[in-house]
Structure 1
Amino acid sequence: MTVRSLLSILADGKFHSGRELGDEVGVSRSAIWKHVRRFEDGGLDIFSVKGRGYRVPGGLELLDIERIQQGLLPEVKVLIKDPDLRLSIESTNELAMEASQRGDCHGRLFLAEQQLAGRGRRGREWVSPFARNLYFSLVWRFEQGVAALEGLSLLVGLAIVRALEKMEIQGVELKWPNDLLHQGKKLAGILLEVHGEASGQCQVVIGVGINVEMPKEVSEAIDQPWTDLKTITGGVVSRNQLLAVILNELVVCLERFDKEGFVGLVDEWQSRHAMQNEAVILQIGDEFVEGVCRGVDGSGALLLQSAAGIKAYHGGEISVRRPV
């Protein structure tokens, strides 16, 4: 509680002396200094000025379960159960998987201010500065088995784009199978992990990472072109509002997917597809396949047209890029 209380005080962006902070949270000035050093090591920018104390430039919006729940539609709020908010953990997906393997976690939400071992597809590290981006995992139960989940990652991406458009954030596109781009730069990623029966009940951990306000000093660790919502909008985007709007869209989409699958959303997904009808190269292990991307089919498979005709490629360790 001491750490979150300290962050809540610093969140106003004003200077606070070590003595003031210590008195507020009930620890010594030395303990405050140690906490501040840990925050800095985690990527949080804190100014320290002798005689004035500490401040977070521009302030800080911490995730707040109550504020998030206030933004949920009534029919969505009843389905989001026991939100689990942590300051710093290895991975929200890891936490969600552990919980779901112990029992039914349908509708449980796991979120964190920072992930120390967040990851994307193909084992890539997800850079995670403290309290600047959005990292969450939602567990959802499906009764039709793993085989019925084709197209789920595409649906999740579409739900996020819908949410961003409701917040008047335009121009975000989808990259098969689970990335969101803006002007060709990565904005967000999705990582699905499943356990359960091939033809029976299973639980899916839907992990999402969105760059909201990526500090420049930590961006050097990112090995691909990237962007964030602050760059796109030119202003501050509330992470609490963003998560609520995403959950409102995502839960509605998941309910529909459970009944209808992805097939009814193909046209809408393709209307936001970053590489629709463009020349692309698919990398499948050590193999490279060139062709023109013709979108996706009702199962969410990528359709590639080449001299041999149109072939469907399903998810897995396949990467898609434009020719250099």
Structure 2
Amino acid sequence: MTDSVMLTLLHLLRDGEFHSGEELGEALAVSRTAVWKQLQKLGELGLECESVRGRGYRLSAPLELLNASRIADLAGVDPTLIQLEVVTDSTNAQLLSRSSTLRSGSFCIAEQQTAGRGRRGRQWISPFGSNLYLSGVWQFEGGAARLEGLSLAVGVCIAQVLESFGFRGVQLKWPNDVLVDGRKLAGILLEMSGDPAGVCQVVVGVGVNVRMPSCAAQSIDQPWTDLASMSSEQGLESVGRNEMVASLVDALSRLMVEFERVGFARWRAAWLERAAFMGQAVSLQTANSEIRGELIGVDGSGALTLRVGGEERLFYGGEVSVRAVS
């Protein structure tokens, strides 16, 4: 866990300006040697710190730390529903461990994840204070059958939030990736606990790349982008992390209430409008097979529809991925 001295140091350095070792030592009430030792730990958080003789130290980019009360206020939700962690293993894991006792609509948000997860057990790169890592939990009656198409609806929700800030070209890759120009911007991870045929809890995890540090990006094994790059490419103002996460909390809270009532059909057309690889030859890969066909859409339950050998076939969720065939 990040200690109080480190948090104070981060608040001092978050403006991205130079601060002398003497200034930092006085503010922290520690020696310059102790300051230097704390500065060396920034790399462990995935933060890059510059040192210039005669000027001092600064972060390579300004840092906006998350604020739970501000997020709740901007999202218009009860502050007790927002759990903000500085460093945690996984926001999904935090909620899953207590899913049966938490109020529906509770969120866990973190500055950093040490064991962030994507689909199929993949690691989700989660450097400190750079991106967004949030999960929400909701209770459903009717079990897993009521959750068909939920990851697609969440994708639409994320896309609409991004578009509300002016971002263009957002696409959705079945079943749970958000892309821009073929590069991954955000991902979704749904996990369920409780009775698969009765009352259950679903945890919806969302990760959004905001300003990925170059040192962390070296571990990513697929094309990616972040909001900072998109803002530059599209001539947009940069978006604050608190503002973006609050918009996601608000939108997801609204989505889950309506989804429980009407299911995926309400979001199908919006998903199809943003579908990546539509009309293209794709490869659908499962643990045991590979199917090639033309992607022609999804049905009312969120099942993927492919034209294979002149015949339309439906494919449902599971350990699958869709990649454009070169």
> Could you tell me how far apart the structure 1 residues matched to 2:214 and 2:275 are?
28
Which consecutive aligned stretches of 4+ in structure 1 deviate over 4 angstroms post-superposition?
none
CA-atom RMSD, angstroms?
1.7
Question: Where does residue 311 of structure 1 map in the other structure?
Answer: 313
Runs of 5+ unmatched residues, structure 1: none
> Could you tell me how far apart the structure 1 residues matched to 2:299 and 2:205 are?
23
- 8 Å Cα contact 2:141-2:199 kept in structure 1: yes
CA-CA distance at 1:152 after TM superposition:
0.7
CA-CA distance at 1:51 after TM superposition:
4.0
Please state if 1:272 is matched with 2:267.
no
**SS, match of residue 249 in structure 2:** helix
Moved more, 120-129 or 19-28: 19-28
**SS, match of residue 325 in structure 2:** coil
Question: Where does residue 303 of structure 2 map in the other structure?
Answer: 301
Question: Where does residue 201 of structure 2 map in the other structure?
Answer: 203
Q: 1:196/1:120 Cα in 2 relative to 1: closer, same or farther (>3 Å)?
A: same
Query: Within 5 Å, which residues of 2 pair with 1:227-246?
Result: 227-234=225-232, 236-246=238-248
Q: What is the TM-score normalised by the length of structure 2?
A: 0.93
Moved more, 47-56 or 108-117: 47-56
- 8 Å Cα contact 2:72-2:82 kept in structure 1: no
> Could you tell me how far apart the structure 2 residues matched to 1:50 and 1:89 are?
35
Moved more, 113-122 or 176-185: 113-122
Question: Where does residue 44 of structure 2 map in the other structure?
Answer: 41
- 8 Å Cα contact 1:120-1:189 kept in structure 2: yes
> Could you tell me how far apart the structure 2 residues matched to 1:323 and 1:54 are?
48
> Could you tell me how far apart the structure 2 residues matched to 1:135 and 1:30 are?
33
**SS, match of residue 99 in structure 1:** coil
Question: Where does residue 157 of structure 1 map in the other structure?
Answer: 155
Question: Where does residue 126 of structure 1 map in the other structure?
Answer: 124
Letter of the 2:81 partner, please give it. Answer: D
**SS, match of residue 34 in structure 1:** helix
Moved more, 297-306 or 176-185: 297-306
> Could you tell me how far apart the structure 2 residues matched to 1:200 and 1:160 are?
28
> Could you tell me how far apart the structure 1 residues matched to 2:139 and 2:280 are?
36
CA-CA distance at 1:308 after TM superposition:
5.8
Letter of the 1:140 partner, please give it. Answer: W
> Could you tell me how far apart the structure 2 residues matched to 1:71 and 1:287 are?
46
- 8 Å Cα contact 2:116-2:123 kept in structure 1: yes
Q: 1:32/1:98 Cα in 2 relative to 1: closer, same or farther (>3 Å)?
A: farther
What is the aligned length? 319
- 8 Å Cα contact 2:113-2:126 kept in structure 1: yes
> Could you tell me how far apart the structure 2 residues matched to 1:106 and 1:29 are?
47
> Could you tell me how far apart the structure 1 residues matched to 2:53 and 2:85 are?
31
Q: Deviations over 1:177-208 (max 9, x none)?
A: 00000001110000011101123221111111
**SS, match of residue 119 in structure 1:** coil
Moved more, 105-114 or 21-30: 21-30
Runs of 5+ unmatched residues, structure 2: none
Q: Percent identity?
A: 46
- 8 Å Cα contact 1:81-1:109 kept in structure 2: no
Question: Where does residue 18 of structure 2 map in the other structure?
Answer: 15
> Could you tell me how far apart the structure 1 residues matched to 2:102 and 2:132 are?
25
Q: 1:307/1:237 Cα in 2 relative to 1: closer, same or farther (>3 Å)?
A: same
CA-CA distance at 1:291 after TM superposition:
0.7
CA-CA distance at 1:283 after TM superposition:
0.6
CA-CA distance at 1:97 after TM superposition:
1.2
> Could you tell me how far apart the structure 2 residues matched to 1:187 and 1:286 are?
28
Q: What is the TM-score normalised by the length of structure 1?
A: 0.93
Please state if 1:179 is matched with 2:177.
yes
- 8 Å Cα contact 2:83-2:109 kept in structure 1: yes
Q: 1:92/1:265 Cα in 2 relative to 1: closer, same or farther (>3 Å)?
A: same
> Could you tell me how far apart the structure 1 residues matched to 2:74 and 2:238 are?
18
Question: Where does residue 55 of structure 1 map in the other structure?
Answer: 58
Query: Within 5 Å, which residues of 2 pair with 1:103-118?
Result: 103-118=101-116
> Could you tell me how far apart the structure 2 residues matched to 1:115 and 1:277 are?
37
